[in-house]
């Protein structure tokens, strides 16, 4: 998985809600084609913004409680959290430049 580490229901609060920097969470599943398509882009973003942005992946099949809590209805969904709050949401497979332009407003 490289620079985008996995997050689960057990680690979500400590890794996302209590994080000291913005956190981009990729809600994905192994069977999702568009999720696999954007995975290399997310790895690039994780590398390029290391130290300023944390990129995490949450498997929707294994973490239903968080999926329900954040009303994730389709995947891929990318949610940017800052100070424990959702500040940006992208649903679908966006090109890298679109993702970065949305993220830069918050990091």
Report domain extents, the chain.
5-104
From 32, 39, 53, 55, active-site residue: 32
Mean pLDDT computed over 47-64: 96
Residue 4 vs residue 72, higher pLDDT: 72
Set 24, 35, 45, 72: catalytic member: 35
Task: In whole angstroms, give the CA distance from residue 79 to residue 82.
Answer: 10
User: Superfamily for 5-104?
Assistant: Glutaredoxin (3.40.30.10)
| pLDDT (0 to 100) of residue 93 | 96
Residue 48 has pLDDT above 90, yes or no: yes
Arithmetic mean of pLDDT, 54-68 = 97
Mean per-residue pLDDT, 53-74: 97
Mean pLDDT of 19-48: 96
Rounded to the nearest 10 degrees, the angle between the axes of helix 96-104 and helix 33-48 is: 50
CA dist 45 → 48, 53, 85 (Å):
5, 9, 20
Average pLDDT over the chain, rounded to an integer: 95
> pLDDT-based confidence at 1, cuts 50/70/90?
very low
Known active-site residue 35: yes
**Does residue 14 carry a pLDDT above 60?**
yes
Respond yes or no: is residue 71 known to be catalytic: no
Is 95 within 8 Å of 38 (Cβ atoms)? no
Confidence bin at 3 (pLDDT 50/70/90): confident
pLDDT at 4: 85
């Amino acid at each position: 998985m490289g620079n985008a580490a996995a997050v689960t229901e057990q680690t979500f609060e400590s890794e996302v809600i209590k994080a000291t920097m913005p956190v981009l969470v990729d809600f994905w599943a192994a069977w999702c084609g568009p999720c696999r398509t954007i995975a290399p882009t997310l790895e690039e973003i994780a590398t390029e913004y290391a130290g300023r942005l944390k990129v995490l992946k949450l498997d929707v099949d294994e973490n239903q409680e968080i999926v329900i809590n954040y009303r994730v209805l389709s995947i891929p969904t990318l949610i940017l959290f800052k100070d424990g709050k959702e500040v940006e949401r992208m649903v679908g497979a966006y090109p890298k430049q679109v993702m970065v332009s949305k993220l830069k407003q918050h990091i």
